[in-house]
Amino acid sequence: MNVLGVSYGYHDASACLVVDGRVVAASAEERFTRQKHDSNFPTYAIEYVLDAGSLSPADLDQVVFHEDPHVKFARVLTTVLAPFPTSRLEFVNSLKSWLGKKLWSLNQLSSRLDVEPDKIGYLSHHFSHAVQAFMGSGFRESAILIVDAVGDWSSSALYRGEWKDGKPVVRRLVEIAFPNSLGLVYSAFTAFLGFTPNDSECSTMALGGFGKPVYADKVREIVRALDDGTYEVDQSYFNFTNFYKGAFTRRFVEAFGAPRDFREPLPFSCYGEGPKEVTADAQRFADVAASVQRVLEERILALATELHARAPSKNLCFAGGVSLNCVANYQLLTRSPFANVFIPPDPGDGGTSVGVALYASALAGACDPDAMPYTPYVGAQFDEADDVRMLDHLDPAHVLRYLKRGLDKPSGGASWKHRTFDDRAQLSAAVAERLMSGHIVGWYQGRAELGPRALGNRSILIRPDDVRLAARLSRSVKDRAPFRPYAFSITAKDAPLVIELSAAQLRMNRWMQYAVPVAPAHAPKLAAAMHVDGTTRVQVAYEDENPAYHALLAAFGERFGLGAVLNTSFNASGYPIVSTPAEALSMFARTDMDALVLNRTLVWKE
């Protein structure tokens, strides 16, 4: 049974191939097109997953889409008509895009893949998220919480899932309708703070760490809690239906002050560089971020509590774009009535292609419920041999002419050397030595990760105690604002030393989805990878899930005393995570990275 799951049309287009109930390959389209959050038809992702399964479209038994285009069109039409007569632009542009393309997404799938229409299926958007969260969890039964910006008609939804006679049964409990959306509220605040909505919500979350939630009461008024555990958004503060007017209204500005110009620098830093002068405005922005973050956490916890009342279980599956908020996720993990919380590796729209493919496969009886969980390492892999041979023909002087802006010369040196290791242990040791010496190392291994987190296959690594090095990494490699903290990876053996969570909860931290507090005794050793509030996103690395990366952490641990490295995604600001070795080399060439590991080859500057 070969099932292709597909998501596209809004953001994070992706494809996934499930063969006989197993995820063979899955990837976001952005990894092939170098356009972050690429929403276009996932031509290259589909090509990749079919190649990985050695299949052609003719071999597919089913193709499943991640939303109901008809319901979504009804919502869009309603949305653009409601503000009549001030929404002509929204009406015209939405209808052009819908009548010209989006309404025919299913037919497009059929024609572009040359697959008969009766093989094309679809699920509603939030149901796609629900099965995405449940199918890979390994739970036999679970409550399911979906919190998103908007999909079809819903913005949040509660479900209950269980396996019955070898098939998944996922029942809807309640769906909160657009425009009452926590995701959209958070995005509107993100726009107010001068960041890019639908992309830089993580900046809002990070900025919140420097503020106090002094505006929380105001935000609570706007996102009012209801007695049934749900919420209602006061629409007079937002333009969710009249979007060309901007995300927020004049009333919003009266409540929170003038919005931030995106060029205005924020004087906050995670690297202990000492406080620069913090203007009243900058502090206001941090306080607003802290306030919306606080209220988001409260509303998610209330939803989870309500869900538990309606579907008592010790298990919770959580997905939707808002489940990328790792600060809120930690609250769920530690304060909700659920003992176990599962968040899939790509809980946003990109992961829905996995959910729909697994679900269709399971309905056809092709799945073993106990063999459903999948790893994030299902993306494309490339051999580096051709790229390594190319290195000897590169002119270092030419490369130096095209360094990234603001970088005069690479710290490591102008010429490049390389060595290919036959022995993995030697490679790990060599890289561990470099990390100990304060090098910035690109670590490119095997199959790419599914989802936005780099989990040791497309990562940039440094030692986790060197805050000056982290500042250099932000400035000269990542182009990352200094108020955004880094995360770290740690071996499962050492994790209990620094993170005070149970063994089961630690296992839930293997994909960097929770901002957890670090034991103060170990804070100095992890200072470069922590936020100012003493928390960090942690990846607890298990040998069975990623042996090569685990070996590196262990080798570094032998030298450092703790098997932990600062781990950030292998991409420059505004670009997706690198896919091919040539893309990795390109970033290595233009930035201040000192060394790069391409599978078994170490490249370094000298």
Partner 1 sequence: MVTLLHKLKIWFAVSVVWTMKGKLAEAIRGFQATEADGVWHLHRGLQRIRDPRHRAILFAHSLEEEAHAEEFAHAYQHYGEHAMKPAPYERADLYGDEEPIWKTFAYVHVGERDATHRFKLIRDTLEQGRLKESLRRIVSDEEGHVDLTHRMLVEMGASDRAIRAEVRKVRWSRLWHGWLRAGKQVVDKLATLLLSVTYFVIGPFLFVAARRRLRSRYVEFDNCRLKKLSE
Q: Which is nearer to partner 1, 207 or 518 (CB)?
A: 207
Instruction: Rule CB under 8 A: say whether 592 interacts with partner 1.
Output: no
Q: 186-225: which residues touch partner 1 (CB under 8 A)?
A: 191, 194-196, 199-200
According to the binding rule CB under 8 A, does residue 399 interact with partner 1?
Answer: yes
Total of residues contacting partner 1 (CB under 8 A): 92
315 membership: H or E segment, kind and range: strand 315-319
Cβ closer to partner 1: 148 or 466? 148
Q: Which is nearer to partner 1, 108 or 536 (CB)?
A: 108
Alpha carbon separation from 288 to 6, 530, 550, 580 (Å, rounded): 37, 22, 39, 40
Least distance to partner 1, CB of residue 461, Å: 23
Contact positions with partner 1 (CB under 8 A) in 118-137: 118, 120-124, 127, 130
CA distance 184 to 298: 16
Exposure string of 476-514, with b = 16+ CB inside 10 Å and e = fewer, is bbbbbbbbbbbbbbbbbbbbebbbebeeebbebbbbbbb
From 58, 84, 277, 370, residue interacting with partner 1 (rule: CB under 8 A): 84
Minimum distance of partner 1 from residue 174's CB (angstroms): 6
Among 165, 258, 274, 402, indicate the residue that binds partner 1 (CB under 8 A). Answer: 402
Binding to partner 1 (CB under 8 A) within 160-189 occurs at 170-172, 174-180
In the three-class reduction of DSSP (H, G, I as helix; E, B as strand; rest coil), residue 172 is classed as: strand
- CA-based end-to-end distance of the chain: 52
Q: Which residue has the tokens 């973050």?
A: 293
Under the criterion CB under 8 A, does residue 585 sit at the interface with partner 1? yes
Contact flags string 540-579 toward partner 1, x per CB under 8 A = ----------------------------------x-----
Residues 323-356 as b/e (b if ≥16 CB within 10 A, e otherwise) read bbbbbbbbbbbeebebebbbbbbbbbbbbbbbbb
Q: Residue 284, Cβ neighbours under 10 Å: how many?
A: 17
CB of 524 to partner 1, least distance (A): 35
CB of 231 to partner 1, least distance (A): 9
Instruction: Print the binding letters for residues 455-484 with partner 1: x by CB under 8 A, - otherwise.
Output: ------------------------------
Q: CA 565: distance to chain centroid?
A: 20
Query: 493's torsion region: left (phi>0), alpha (psi -120 to 50) or beta?
Result: alpha
405 binds partner 1 (CB under 8 A): yes
The nearest distance, CB 40 to partner 1, in angstroms, is: 4
At 168, which helix (H) or strand (E)?
strand 167-177
395 near partner 1 (CB under 8 A): yes
Could you write out the DSSP letters of every residue in 79-138? HHHTTTTS-HHHHHHHHHHHHHTGGGHHHHHHHHHT--GGGEEE--HHHHHHHHHHHTT-
Contact between 497 and partner 1 by CB under 8 A: the answer reads no
- Work out how close the CB of 586 gets to partner 1 at its nearest, in angstroms, rounded to a whole number: 6
Report, in Å, the least distance between residue 532 CB and partner 1.
23
Q: According to the binding rule CB under 8 A, does residue 152 interact with partner 1?
A: yes
